[in-house]
Structure 1
Amino acid sequence: MIGAPIVSLLNDLPGLDNVSNEQREDGVDKLTSIKSALHVMKNNEIKRQLDKCPEKLNIILNYLLSPAATREEVDVCIDILSTCVEALDGNSLCLAFKGSLSSGLLSENDDVTLLCIKTISNILSRGTRESFTLFAEKEILSAIVGCIVRPLEVANKSAKVLIVMLTNHEMMTSANMWNFVANELSKFLQDDVIKIRIQELLVECCCQSEASFRAISSWEMFDEIIADSVSDDILVQLNTFMVLSSLASCEHGFEYLQQKNIFKKFSELLVNVDSHPFSNLLLPGLLKFFGGVCQHKPDQVLSQHPEFLTKLFTQMTLGDTLSLETVAFIARGANGKRILNSEKEKFISICLHLAGSLCHSTDTNQRVNGLLVAADLFHVEPDSSDNNEISSILKEWWMNLGLTWNYLLEQLHKPFEDVQIATHNLLANLLPYHDWVLQSFNNSAGFIEYLLGRQSAIGRGVCLSKYELVCRLSDSSKAREVLGDRVYVKLQAYRANGPYYAGVQDPQVAVERD
């Protein structure tokens, strides 16, 4: 039977304590044989062979965790278990490793810890209700929480597992683990860096689950997030701005911040920011906070806190590019566009003037920033792609931005990848959704030739960004109507051939117009 030797090899593995060199070498040979056998087997075959006795894999994990294990033995064991973890279902993984997972999580070897985190992740995502007994395992929960202080890769992956667990309100509640997790997390709040990691973790859980939000928001450490937002430590305060901006992205989080008068407090800070000793740090943080919230709730923020938009316009008159980027971020949403357009005179004379100046700057970095801002300004959400009101607003914005196809073509021929990619991003946001710009560009020399020509895209990033532009156009009914069926067919062929296709290139791409 294919794979049958695996179980017998597992049974034959010698221990690592009080063994001769010959027995040790025999163990390494058996581990290598298991690794080789697994590598030629498909996942369903591995699963079939090990499903009847998944606990046998615990032999490998114990081997891995032995203090006597050499680096070679550890590497082979990790390879074996990584293959099995991908092949087995959640219940089998739970049976195989449950008894040793906490020890593996506490290993000083990050690779071992990452393997155990991946195992738990697969148990949670692939298992049945029975495998969720992990929620009641205090040793495992404690060990996962402890990983948040480890190097960033370990911390981030353990956080993802914790998010899965903490957003399963039913299981956390039935296992009576809310207070236990809160107590474990509170052990690590003394370090500011780890404290921010924990706050980000809690807010992510709150955003994903309103039920979990109700549990977590009662924790004392959650109240500390609000307290930190007015801390005398400017760096702690700025970090908290980012965390609270994320919380405001969900309805219940937004309402919570309103109840805590956070928006009112931050508005007062914004009004008086010039007198703050660290205004050069505080102002960008406040603008980013309100800009992030505006992405989700532009109506409420801009109507209730007009001082925010006033401050943005004031800063843009001083050439502040962060304020310009914040306005562009707000403009990504349809309601954001409407509200900004309600201040049309200021928006055109200040915002579009600054954006256009950057797009035409002789400084390459400024030009890239200007093009990226323009791409955000003309970003259209799928549900607004056929909105005539939005299209009309953007047409007026485009006319006042001062960009032409000839100028953009000039940028696309410059030997700067960042400039080319930023230009592609702008065109991808603009062309597929508005017949007025398609008609204008279609009548411009070199437009169709550039779209269809392969020789114009050099470099991986440029090839991918141009391919994205072509794909969006090939999906656009407006593009088909304006450009004609012949061009549409060629766009479809470009798409089908992928971003890196070279093929047989003609010196020029000539297209007969319909």
Structure 2
Amino acid sequence: MASSIQCLLEEISGVEDPIEELQSLKTALFSIPVSALRDSVSGQRFDVIFSLLSSNEREQVELCVDILERILMALSPVHLVQNYRAELQGGLTHPNEMVKTLALTQIGRVVEHPDAVTEILSNHGILQAVILSIGEEKMAVAKQAIQSLSKLSHSKPGLDKLFHSDLLKVMKDVMARSDIIRYRIYELVIEISSASPISLGYCASSGLISQLLSELTGDDVLIRATAIEMVTTLAHSQHGRQYLAQQGIMDKISNMIRGADTDPFSSLYLPGLVKFFGNLAIMDSPQQVCESYPAFQNKVFEMALDPDPVMMGVALDTLGLLGSTVEGKQVLQKTGEKFKAVFSRMSQLASSGATELRVRSLEAISQLLTLQPEHQTEDLLALTESWFHLLSNQPMDMICNISTQPFPELHCGALQIFTAIATQPWGQKLMINTPGFMEFVLDRSTGQTKDAKDAKFELVGSLVGSSTAAEILGSQHYIRLKSYLKEGPYYVSAVAAVSTEGAD
């Protein structure tokens, strides 16, 4: 194989228009696995392919990129950086975004390797070019640069190079070019900070995190909205949350929620503020967050009753998130009539709102009603049952009605609610006492999409897995449900198949 590659390389170097020869080389390289290619290419030089990248012919450049991508992936990161360092550096300043992305991807491989990364750490020019790539117009190039630098920061020498050398000034200079590029650098900083408390320490001492936090209360509401998204990402890690708490950010965001009523532009950033606390509640404690920051809970209830579909959507998602935990359910129950009014609104939206809001309502309701078997105490079962009956005078009929409408996403949303109550004894009693319901569950002809079949299968699985189902539903139904489960979600009976063929 090595000799045939050598022959093809010689052919390419001997012609003026090498498109056909490049295509032949590409076909040859892609005909064998990367693992088997390693021995064939490690002893070769591919200078001719690199030299052809300087062409203005896009087809030629793209073929060269495909070839080099295959070859370089077959080489070890150490061999790659020792033999093609200059070519990688040249690729970073190439006018074609595909070449830049190729170079950045390979540098990402090198910095992940403990022996190869030292070669990059000593090459200031390459690292500077990678940072400058974050300012590229093409987002794909910038993303790859962010990814490579993020990988570099996984080691202490990498962190030292990025934050304790003049590369920090390079980063700050790139940031100053535009709002968009500034936020790309913030994205990199948040990604690095999230990795560990040590990484966060480097980023904090650079001043870049405090710069981001100051943008939360800046004059530009769109920048404010982007800043809150970044801060929410940082809050996903425990050390990130501790840092934000020390900086007083939770109180600052709570005050922003309070002040939103007097800001005519608050609708642009308010959803982000609410999502921040929603995520915080799930990661820490719903009770603690709702008690410490009552402005958050009050605003969620207010948004659920708001006519603005954006506000309603965020409120529905947040309520579903809160109500997915036992503690969150108890917090909501404590608000009494306030939550009842909101739950009633969710029921209305599920029945007759715009399709997207109906789907989000159904999703939130199913999260609120879900109760894992280990949490099924008498009090909590009474709570979920009382909430289900708040949906309407005939909640089973209401959800059945939604499940028969000709929209797959609504059908699946309704099945999710049935799945939520399927493990609870009161839910099973409602099912067996609703005429035709068990026949509907066992009927494979309802809901023909893959998602619908999967949703029905999940419902059947929840019923079969419940310790009370056999007794409440009766042995006959339980045996049929077990057969359904055994046959799988996509089973088609032989009788149905024959009759369908006859109809055709």
When normalised by structure 2's length, the TM-score is 0.83
The equivalent residue for 1:386 is: 374
Task: Give the drift of 1:404.
Answer: 3.7
The equivalent residue for 1:143 is: 129
> Using a 3 Å threshold, how does the CA distance of structure 1 residues 442 and 123 change in structure 2: closer, same or farther?
farther
1:303-322 deviation digits (Å, cap 9, x = unpaired): 21122212333444455513
Is the 1:58–1:96 Cα contact (8 Å) retained in structure 2? no
> Using a 3 Å threshold, how does the CA distance of structure 1 residues 437 and 201 change in structure 2: closer, same or farther?
farther
Alignment of 1:153 onto 2:147: no
Amino acid paired to 2:485:
L
**1:308 is matched with which residue: 296, 301, 312?**
296
Task: Give the drift of 1:224.
Answer: 0.9
Q: Following the alignment from structure 1 to structure 2, what is the Cα–Cα distance between the partners of residues 442 and 184?
A: 69
1:444-463 deviation digits (Å, cap 9, x = unpaired): 455455555554334xxx41
1:183-234 deviation digits (Å, cap 9, x = unpaired): 2221232311222222222112212222111101111222111111111222
Is the 1:89–1:122 Cα contact (8 Å) retained in structure 2? no
Alignment of 1:129 onto 2:120: no
1:318-338 deviation digits (Å, cap 9, x = unpaired): 555133432223223443233
Is the 1:62–1:100 Cα contact (8 Å) retained in structure 2? no
Q: Following the alignment from structure 1 to structure 2, what is the Cα–Cα distance between the partners of residues 268 and 98?
A: 52
Q: Following the alignment from structure 1 to structure 2, what is the Cα–Cα distance between the partners of residues 398 and 179?
A: 60
Identity among equivalent positions (%) equals 22
Alignment of structure 1 residues 144-183 onto 2, 5 Å:
144-150=130-136, 151-166=138-153, 168-173=154-159, 175=161, 178-183=164-169
Task: Give the drift of 1:181.
Answer: 4.0
Q: Following the alignment from structure 2 to structure 1, what is the Cα–Cα distance between the partners of residues 158 and 139?
A: 26
**2:430 is matched with which residue: 417, 440, 443?**
440
1:139-161 deviation digits (Å, cap 9, x = unpaired): 22222222323322222233222
Task: Give the drift of 1:80.
Answer: 1.4
Alignment of structure 1 residues 61-140 onto 2, 5 Å:
61-64=50-53, 66=54, 68=55, 70-125=57-112, 127-131=113-117, 133-140=119-126
Is the 1:386–1:433 Cα contact (8 Å) retained in structure 2? no
Q: Which runs of 5+ in 2 are unaligned?
A: 471-477, 499-504
1:420-454 deviation digits (Å, cap 9, x = unpaired): 343344455x1565454345335545545555555
Amino acid paired to 1:341:
Q
Alignment of structure 1 residues 248-327 onto 2, 5 Å:
248-297=235-284, 298-318=286-306, 321=312, 322-327=314-319
Q: Following the alignment from structure 1 to structure 2, what is the Cα–Cα distance between the partners of residues 301 and 158?
A: 37
Amino acid paired to 2:399:
L
> Using a 3 Å threshold, how does the CA distance of structure 1 residues 444 and 476 change in structure 2: closer, same or farther?
closer
Is the 1:480–1:488 Cα contact (8 Å) retained in structure 2? no
Q: Which runs of 5+ in 1 are unaligned?
A: 15-21, 509-514
Alignment of 1:351 onto 2:342: yes
Task: Give the drift of 1:121.
Answer: 3.2
Amino acid paired to 1:420:
H
Q: Following the alignment from structure 1 to structure 2, what is the Cα–Cα distance between the partners of residues 427 and 139?
A: 60
Query: Bigger CA drift: 195-204 or 130-139?
Result: 130-139
Task: Give the drift of 1:261.
Answer: 1.4
The equivalent residue for 1:506 is: 496
Q: Following the alignment from structure 1 to structure 2, what is the Cα–Cα distance between the partners of residues 315 and 174?
A: 46
**1:60 is matched with which residue: 46, 49, 66?**
49
Q: Following the alignment from structure 1 to structure 2, what is the Cα–Cα distance between the partners of residues 180 and 385?
A: 57
1:117-168 deviation digits (Å, cap 9, x = unpaired): 332333345x4533453344322222222232332222223322222222x1
**2:405 is matched with which residue: 401, 407, 414?**
414
> Using a 3 Å threshold, how does the CA distance of structure 1 residues 505 and 170 change in structure 2: closer, same or farther?
farther
The equivalent residue for 1:50 is: 41
How many residue pairs align between the two structures?
A: 482
Is the 2:415–2:459 Cα contact (8 Å) retained in structure 1? no
> Using a 3 Å threshold, how does the CA distance of structure 1 residues 407 and 350 change in structure 2: closer, same or farther?
closer
The equivalent residue for 2:4 is: 5
Task: Give the drift of 1:339.
Answer: 2.1
Task: Give the drift of 1:343.
Answer: 2.3
Is the 2:303–2:315 Cα contact (8 Å) retained in structure 1? yes
Is the 2:159–2:199 Cα contact (8 Å) retained in structure 1? no
Is the 1:474–1:492 Cα contact (8 Å) retained in structure 2? no
